Amino acid sequence: MNEIDKLLLNFLNEDIGSDDITSNILPDKIVRAFIICNEDAIIAGVEESIRLFSILKCNAIPLVHDGNLVSKGSKIIEIEGNAKNILSVERTALNILMRMSGIATLTKRYIDEVKGKVMIAGTRKTVPGFRYFDKKAIKVANGYTHRYRLDEMILIKDNHLAILGSVKKALLLAKEKYGDRYDIEVEVRSLEDAIDAINYGADIIMLDNLEPAQVYNIVEELKRKNLRDKVKIEVSGGIKLSNIKDYAKSDIDIISIGSLTHSVKAIDMNLEISL
């Protein structure tokens, strides 16, 4: 059993506990069921849901695939199996599908707003234990997952800088400890820190919690100093559907958005038994 199947089994065990005592009153009867999406959405989580049903020996068939846009009322998955088992899996499968589809749908809305000019990225603001699924949902919608874990890249943020005192010192220490083993990103909020980050070897600078005009001015000044092309530029903090176009007007590479995962609205779905 791989790690994803272990996670899914843990989710199922968490919901069922020792037994589904309500469904135990049902006869051993083979039935069909459908998972239905009750609003327009980008679907994500089909593969995981099918794997969940298979754990309890139900045959689940995808009627759409991850990344598909569906309209309200669309059937997503057809399931056949013992009625008790289908109902025991129902809530766990729906929870995964609804959350992942909500993330994929919101990610696609942001991508559509910037019309492909800027990469839309998630963050580590995910539900503990659910990061793989949150990140996969972003990827399904053609977003950028960013780092999964702290061991994948060096990202020097404001609290690191508060302890170390300067961008220069942080970068020198990172280079001393790790050399060129990892990409290094530095969070900056001023032109001066951006210049230091570039001069001392950052691969990416993150312009954090700045207004669109501030981002534009810093990027244009870096161009004038022939520094823009030496790094990737990421923007984060306070990004919304209502203002993302203003940020995307600047010559930047990535916009990362924590709300893709930390406060996403789940897509409404339900499971219906078809006798």
Q: Determine the Cα–Cα distance for residues 122 and 107; give it in Å rounded to an integer.
A: 9
Strand order in the sheet with 59-62: 59-62, 75-82, 30-37, 269-274
Give me the active site residues, please: 125
